[in-house]
Structure 1
């Protein structure tokens, strides 16, 4: 009999793609999702993209009885349920802590009573803060930025003694540097899961996702991934809005490659007890990404580089994926241009409400965007 897998947050962007991958491999899949209006709209209906073979339980992961029901007959769990949004987390503090940390505690307590063969949880590159840097003389150091420099429009990260730095790929052994409530909650989720997994004999893996993009991302959620936000702006005839000077560098990874990584983490013994970067292994500036999305959508709209900054934003962070390649056999297959073309084809049939200005005003009023 095939294994039965539960995906918390399984009706969402990443969870639904992982469900597709697992069904194709012969697994049975159940999803637990509260169909949050911020992601799924006010109707909170089962999304059309969710495979009909997925057994969807609509409920709150913070409710122990709901979690107990969802775990019946389950052999493995993917824990993706979370509120996602760096800026929003800085003013909806209690909700982010409750949804991300408390809910993870409820799930872990349930797993103590109902052990499974594997737990895979979604962590985040946000736990790193600034990525890794190298000095001119070859030393690897932590980079940092000061508010005084940002207020003067100096966006660069500097070394401990103010020395200039060059960004390099970030490895899993970089110490966390927490710059938002969201990042703190993801680090707590990761540490709770790995610690209690080891304590109670539940083989556990944490996957630190970098900037995931692709079809099914919520286009009307102004706190979702940056490519979806750019697409929403462009579909409404508005320029993508970019903070600072647009030269900050990120790693954008296709959701299809992420689904591959999740399947590998479920099946590989080498994954147990470890955290892995899941990215593309390539970096690109935010301005370049905005221009590529506009070109793929056939919109002759240049991005608007604001010269402003948001509290908690970082300059550079992109993934070193060598550990996932060596231990999981993970090899990203979809290059950025191909992924954006696939995304743009899906976008042709989508409607998007552009709520970026509303979200920016919210951050500005609270002193989080300057």
Structure 2
């Protein structure tokens, strides 16, 4: 099966590519802007190493999803059967650059759908639990109303609507996956979990912003398993939540990291409730993911244990020169 992972150099996408390449032909496209814009330091070093290692042996194209001509050429050359659309800004980035968020998460996706999806028979969209807005029940099922309160949630909801509408007209298979708070080593975005662990290991201090903010944390290998199921399963649901199914605070994560690393914990003031655009959240109902056989298995403590183990393995994997060679060998150009 030919699987095209759009936005596949990020945390979830690179794990998914590594997983799918065992049985399928995989193409990853990405703008690589997130990785290149990272500040120098341990998080960037780890992200570069992770990208090299996970995309080894995978065909990779540098494409911005807003480049319609390049996207069209890639689709024509690769002829995907399944497309997994992961291209997106973070929630915080979307709030800072709402026009760009609209272009990447809605407009580019709409153009891709209108141009025939490259002939793909199935499209898997990375939506978000932010589509629910303020959680009114915990755990929140997929049938809960979608009432996003920020630009990130709104663009994800719009993309879901575009996907469902196009599928109803053109008759292709479609899946919207709603993940939550994915964490893992080598993240090319400055998410809390990655930054907190690097600070713990290098500075002996875990700084926790917004300590009372609640998320349903999901380890990246579990998230990749869920997206693989959405791509490969014979009859996946049209939409499903992808999370561990447990509400935990940022303070819980910080304390768990501190316990595993021996670092000191510092709780910073919490301001998210006063913004008006950050949703109050809780646990997700993962019954559909369980039926699909891809419900995440790692709770918070196990996720931090896995994070530290996988981080150590990344740091032990080869020299910088070898990593650069593997990257050159996997990058291709297509006309």
For 2:69 and 2:136, the matched residues in 1 are separated by 43
In structure 2, what is the equivalent of residue 117 of structure 1? 121
Instruction: Provide the rounded CA distance (Å) in 1 between the counterparts of 2:69 and 2:87.
Output: 16
Alignment of 1:1-370 (within 5 A): 3-24=1-22, 26-37=23-34, 41=38, 47-71=51-75, 72=77, 73-84=79-90, 86-112=91-117, 114-133=118-137, 168-218=138-188, 221-222=189-190, 224=191, 226-237=192-203, 238-243=205-210, 246-271=211-236, 274-299=238-263, 301-309=264-272, 311=275, 312-326=277-291, 328-347=292-311
Larger radius of gyration: 1
Deviations, residues 120-164 of structure 1 (Å, cap 9, x unaligned): 11000011112133xxxxxxxxxxxxxxxxxxxxxxxxxxxxxxx
* Higher RCO (CA 8 Å, separation ≥ 6 residues): 2
State the alpha-carbon separation in 1 of the partners of residues 129 and 179 from structure 2.
Answer: 6
Alpha-carbon deviation of 1:169?
Answer: 0.4
The 8 Å contact of residues 29 and 53 in structure 1, kept in 2 or not, is answered as no
Alpha-carbon deviation of 1:41?
4.1
Deviation at 1:343, TM superposition (A): 1.0
1:306: Cα distance to partner? Answer: 0.7
For 2:73 and 2:39, how far apart are their aligned partners in 1? 25
- Judged with a 3 Å threshold, the aligned counterparts in structure 2 of structure 1 residues 315 and 304 are, in CA distance, closer, same or farther, namely same
Contact 2:186 / 2:311 at 8 angstroms: preserved in 1?
no
The residue that corresponds to 1:145 in the other structure is none
* Cα distance in structure 2, aligned partners of 1:296 and 1:266: 35
Q: How many Å separate the matches in 1 of 2:65 and 2:7? A: 9
Shift of 1:95: 1.3
* Distance in 2 of aligned mates of 1:263 and 1:27: 11
TM-score, length-scaled by structure 1: 0.75
Q: Quote how far apart the aligned CAs of 1:347 are.
A: 4.1
Contact 1:211 1:252 in 2 (8 A): yes
Shift of 1:183: 1.0
CA contact (8 A) 2:243 2:295 kept: no
* Residues 291 and 303 in structure 1, CA contact (< 8 A), matched pair in contact too: no
Query: Matched residues in 2 for 1:69 and 1:233: separation?
Result: 42
Q: Secondary structure, in 3 states, of the residue corresponding to 2:119?
A: coil
The runs of 5 or more residues in structure 1 that have no matched partner are: 134-167, 351-370
**Distance in structure 2 (CA, Å) of the matches to 1:173 and 1:303:** 38
In structure 2, runs of 5+ residues without a counterpart are 316-335
For the 8 Å contact 2:127–2:156, the answer to whether it is kept is yes
Residues 37, 15 of structure 1: alpha-carbon distance in 2 compared, 3 angstrom cutoff:
closer
2:185 counterpart SS class: coil
**Partner Cα separation in structure 1 for residue 9 and residue 170 of structure 2:** 28
- C-alpha distance in 2 between matches for 1:193 and 1:54: 27
Task: State the Cα RMSD in Å.
Answer: 2.4
Question: What is the total number of aligned residue pairs between the two structures?
Answer: 302
Q: Distance in 1 between matches of 2:259 and 2:6?
A: 35
* Conserved 8 A contact 1:115-1:202: no
